[in-house]
Structure 1
Amino acid sequence: MSTMEYGNLAYLVLLGAVLVFWFFVQNRQSLNKTLQQGALWGLIFLGTVAAVGLWGDIRQTVHPQQMVMTDAGRIEVPRGPDGHYYLTLDINETPVRFVVDTGATSMVLTQADAARVGLDDEDMIFYSEAMTANGVVRTAPVRLDDVALGPFHDRNVRAFVNEGEMTKSLLGMEYLNRFARLEIANGRLVLER
Structure 2
Amino acid sequence: MKIALGLVVLAGIGIGLALPAARPAPIAVVAATPPAEMPVATRIARSPSGHFLAVANVNDEPVRFLVDTGADTVALTLDDARRAHVAFDPAQFTVIGKGAAGDVRGQEVRIASIVLDGKRASDVRAVVLQDSEMSLLGQNYLRHIGSVKIADDTMTLE
TM over 0.5: yes
Q: Which residue of structure 1 aligns with residue 40 of structure 2?
A: 73
Post-superposition Cα deviations, 1:56-91, rounded to whole Å, max 9, x if no partner, equal: xxxxxxxxxxxxxxx953111111111110011101
Which aligned runs of 4 or more in structure 1 are off by greater than 3 angstroms? 120-124
Looking at secondary structure, tell me which structure has more strand per residue.
Answer: 2
Q: Which residue of structure 1 aligns with residue 72 of structure 2?
A: 105
* Aligned partner of 1:183 among 128, 145, 149: 149
* Aligned partner of 2:119 among 132, 142, 152: 152
Q: Which residue of structure 2 aligns with residue 162 of structure 1?
A: 129
**Aligned equivalents of 2:98, 2:70: Cα separation in 1:** 11
- Identity of paired residues, percent? 34
Instruction: Output aligned runs, 1:23-172, within 5 Å.
Output: 73-122=40-89, 125-127=92-94, 129-163=96-130, 165-172=131-138
Q: Deviation at 1:121?
A: 4.2
What is the letter of the counterpart of residue 102 of structure 1? T
Looking at secondary structure, tell me which structure has more helix per residue.
Answer: 1
Post-superposition Cα deviations, 1:166-192, rounded to whole Å, max 9, x if no partner, equal: 211111122112212111112100111
1:143–1:136 distance in 2 versus 1, CA, 3 Å: same
User: Looking at both structures, which has the greater relative contact order when contacts are Cα pairs under 8 Å and sequence separation is at least 6?
Assistant: 2
**Aligned equivalents of 2:108, 2:43: Cα separation in 1:** 29
**Aligned equivalents of 1:103, 1:158: Cα separation in 2:** 16
Q: Of the two, which has the highest radius of gyration?
A: 2
CA contact (8 A) 2:76 2:129 kept: yes
Aligned residues: 121
- Report the secondary structure of 1:178's partner residue: coil
**Aligned equivalents of 2:129, 2:116: Cα separation in 1:** 22
Cα RMSD after superposing both structures: 2.0
CA contact (8 A) 2:88 2:128 kept: no
Q: Deviation at 1:123?
A: 8.1
TM-score (norm 1): 0.58
Post-superposition Cα deviations, 1:101-128, rounded to whole Å, max 9, x if no partner, equal: 2221110001111111112444873235
1:175–1:124 distance in 2 versus 1, CA, 3 Å: farther
